Chains A and B, each alone.
Chain A
């Protein structure tokens, strides 16, 4: 029972990070129907940028409290990631809006590999230890523990979601985004510039992914050029699981997937009688994806769309 509680905590923490990245996928897909394969790499770039920034600032500002450093790093890294994502959309995706359907997908995959390779060149392939900028003594909850970093992840995710929700529901930009997702032609007739909306979507997605990336690096203690790939895929699974194009779905999907992975990895050995060990955890996400797409393709919170002839 105590183990279960610990796994639930770990699952929620993991799930929060998935949720943040899943939001980026779902927003982009909702508007331009593109799976941005490179989105996981944005997480990685954000994390590595912040690592560099912290490494650069720490010796310069030895007396600054760690959380300030963390904040500065996050803000600067988010800005960098936002600029990168904006550029990627403008240079590589925008020209292909009307191209044959495979072209943008190939470009996105190519972009993903390009970012990984460039990161490997710029930052070198070794795994970098990410400084733990928060106190490490964990709090106890019953028989389980939760570290300040994990608490921060949960808190930061909640704040980010609140801000995003405000943005999407209460601002002009948010309205424009929702309108474009529903019907781009009509939205543009109403004066919404689709290019602006799409760029905004990429920028917001980059910020969310960077936050997730920094927290991921802090939680697991390392940052490296391949760190974005698997979380990216899993976050995409979460987005589909929750209902692609649906923001609430991305959050629900992310949290649930985190829980499934966390609890699943703990019990996988037991369930399969020792045949499958916890190395198979990664497969869980794919199984979730396949089951979702087979049984309920619109996802948990998605609308059931009847096939019209």
Chain B
């Protein structure tokens, strides 16, 4: 029986869209400090599951617990508040804002000055602004792009934009950071750098949920993996176990006639 702290406890999540059962009875246990992988062939339901976690869809049945508390996001913006930060498959940065400003927006959910503080430049506001800027600089440094702090986000290279997105997500002080296909479109060098960054995040006791197509990356990086196929969990365990699992091999390579 594991005594490690559970960051995310998923029990029995199901979701149906009209005639299609997209998710059936999905369960998952992510422990603190883990890099947890979610893989599966196209159409397996990874994105659907991801959208359920991040509040875009409501599950038909099942429940979540985030850091021991029940987690039921009814609106998308409550997700980051509760403690799950995400990146996007297609990188969604605030293009016309600088890299620094992008990360500063990440701090929004953990800070509180409003209109009055801004207009009257109260002490509380000024202190908070300084703290936000400092933390943003730290995070840019952490992911390795502090040289580009004042550059508009859209002018950064693809790899650096990915890092920026991760820095922005980290700025929300999440319990769990969920990366949606972060390696998409990357070359080998960029993937190695990404892997190093995720390792670093893990070493700082943060918890990562990684949805990826690149099986090699997942196997080399993750502590545990869940494999989905056709909306169901077909395997769960360490990368080594999962790789040997015949169901998994079937799902990916497919053999004629089961």
Direct touching of A and B (C-beta under 8 Å):
yes
- Of residues 33 to 59 in B, which have CB atoms within 8 Å of A's CB atoms? 47, 50-51, 54, 56
| A91 adjacent to chain B (CB < 8 Å) | no
A307 neighbours in B (Cβ, 8 Å): 56
- Looking at the assembled complex, report how far the CB atom of B202 sits from the nearest CB atom of chain A, in whole angstroms: 25
Q: How far is the CA of A309 from the CA of B51 in the complex (A)?
A: 7
- Looking at the assembled complex, report how far the CB atom of B52 sits from the nearest CB atom of chain A, in whole angstroms: 10
B56 neighbours in A (Cβ, 8 Å): 307, 309
A: which residues have CB within 8 A of B? 306-307, 309
B51 neighbours in A (Cβ, 8 Å): 309
7 A–B pairs (Cβ distance < 8 Å), ordered by A: A306-B17, A307-B56, A309-B47, A309-B50, A309-B51, A309-B54, A309-B56
A309 neighbours in B (Cβ, 8 Å): 47, 50-51, 54, 56
B47 neighbours in A (Cβ, 8 Å): 309
Q: How far is the CA of A306 from the CA of B54 in the complex (A)?
A: 16
Q: How far is the CA of A307 from the CA of B56 in the complex (A)?
A: 9
B50 neighbours in A (Cβ, 8 Å): 309
Chain A residue with the shortest CB-CB distance to B88? A309
B54 neighbours in A (Cβ, 8 Å): 309
A306 neighbours in B (Cβ, 8 Å): 17
Chain A residue with the shortest CB-CB distance to B51? A309
Q: How far is the CA of A309 from the CA of B54 in the complex (A)?
A: 10
Chain B residue with the shortest CB-CB distance to A307? B56
Q: How far is the CA of A309 from the CA of B92 in the complex (A)?
A: 11
Instruction: Type the 1/0 row for B70-83, where 1 means its CB is closer than 8 Å to any CB of A.
Output: 00000000000000
- Looking at the assembled complex, report how far the CB atom of B191 sits from the nearest CB atom of chain A, in whole angstroms: 24
Q: How far is the CA of A309 from the CA of B87 in the complex (A)?
A: 12
User: Looking at B17, B50, B56, which has the most chain A CB atoms within 10 Å of its CB?
Assistant: B56
B17 neighbours in A (Cβ, 8 Å): 306
Q: How far is the CA of A120 from the CA of B17 in the complex (A)?
A: 55
- Looking at the assembled complex, report how far the CB atom of B178 sits from the nearest CB atom of chain A, in whole angstroms: 12
Q: How far is the CA of A309 from the CA of B17 in the complex (A)?
A: 15
The 6 tightest CB contacts between A and B, nearest first, are A309-B51, A309-B56, A309-B47, A307-B56, A309-B50, A309-B54
Q: How far is the CA of A306 from the CA of B58 in the complex (A)?
A: 13
Q: How far is the CA of A33 from the CA of B183 in the complex (A)?
A: 32
- Looking at the assembled complex, report how far the CB atom of A98 sits from the nearest CB atom of chain B, in whole angstroms: 14
Q: How far is the CA of A307 from the CA of B76 in the complex (A)?
A: 13
Instruction: Type the 1/0 row for B58-98, where 1 means its CB is closer than 8 Å to any CB of A.
Output: 00000000000000000000000000000000000000000
- Looking at the assembled complex, report how far the CB atom of A99 sits from the nearest CB atom of chain B, in whole angstroms: 14
Chain B residue with the shortest CB-CB distance to A306? B17
- Looking at the assembled complex, report how far the CB atom of B177 sits from the nearest CB atom of chain A, in whole angstroms: 17
- Looking at the assembled complex, report how far the CB atom of A52 sits from the nearest CB atom of chain B, in whole angstroms: 48
- Of residues 129 to 154 in B, which have CB atoms within 8 Å of A's CB atoms? none
Q: How far is the CA of A307 from the CA of B57 in the complex (A)?
A: 10
- Looking at the assembled complex, report how far the CB atom of B146 sits from the nearest CB atom of chain A, in whole angstroms: 29
Q: How far is the CA of A37 from the CA of B54 in the complex (A)?
A: 38
Q: How far is the CA of A47 from the CA of B176 in the complex (A)?
A: 64
Q: How far is the CA of A307 from the CA of B17 in the complex (A)?
A: 13
Q: How far is the CA of A307 from the CA of B47 in the complex (A)?
A: 13
Q: How far is the CA of A166 from the CA of B232 in the complex (A)?
A: 48
Q: How far is the CA of A306 from the CA of B56 in the complex (A)?
A: 11
Chain B residue with the shortest CB-CB distance to A100? B96
- Looking at the assembled complex, report how far the CB atom of B105 sits from the nearest CB atom of chain A, in whole angstroms: 19
Q: How far is the CA of A306 from the CA of B17 in the complex (A)?
A: 10
Q: How far is the CA of A27 from the CA of B145 in the complex (A)?
A: 46
Q: How far is the CA of A307 from the CA of B51 in the complex (A)?
A: 11
Q: How far is the CA of A109 from the CA of B43 in the complex (A)?
A: 44
Chain A residue with the shortest CB-CB distance to B96? A100
Chain A residue with the shortest CB-CB distance to B57? A309
Q: How far is the CA of A306 from the CA of B22 in the complex (A)?
A: 15
- Looking at the assembled complex, report how far the CB atom of A102 sits from the nearest CB atom of chain B, in whole angstroms: 13
- Looking at the assembled complex, report how far the CB atom of B79 sits from the nearest CB atom of chain A, in whole angstroms: 12
Q: How far is the CA of A291 from the CA of B50 in the complex (A)?
A: 33
- Looking at the assembled complex, report how far the CB atom of B214 sits from the nearest CB atom of chain A, in whole angstroms: 20
Instruction: Type the 1/0 row for B3-22, where 1 means its CB is closer than 8 Å to any CB of A.
Output: 00000000000000100000
Q: How far is the CA of A307 from the CA of B58 in the complex (A)?
A: 13
Q: How far is the CA of A309 from the CA of B46 in the complex (A)?
A: 12
Chain A residue with the shortest CB-CB distance to B17? A306
Chain A residue with the shortest CB-CB distance to B47? A309
- Looking at the assembled complex, report how far the CB atom of B78 sits from the nearest CB atom of chain A, in whole angstroms: 16
- Looking at the assembled complex, report how far the CB atom of B97 sits from the nearest CB atom of chain A, in whole angstroms: 15
Q: How far is the CA of A309 from the CA of B56 in the complex (A)?
A: 7
- Looking at the assembled complex, report how far the CB atom of A273 sits from the nearest CB atom of chain B, in whole angstroms: 40
- Looking at the assembled complex, report how far the CB atom of A282 sits from the nearest CB atom of chain B, in whole angstroms: 36
Chain A residue with the shortest CB-CB distance to B56? A309
- Looking at the assembled complex, report how far the CB atom of A304 sits from the nearest CB atom of chain B, in whole angstroms: 11
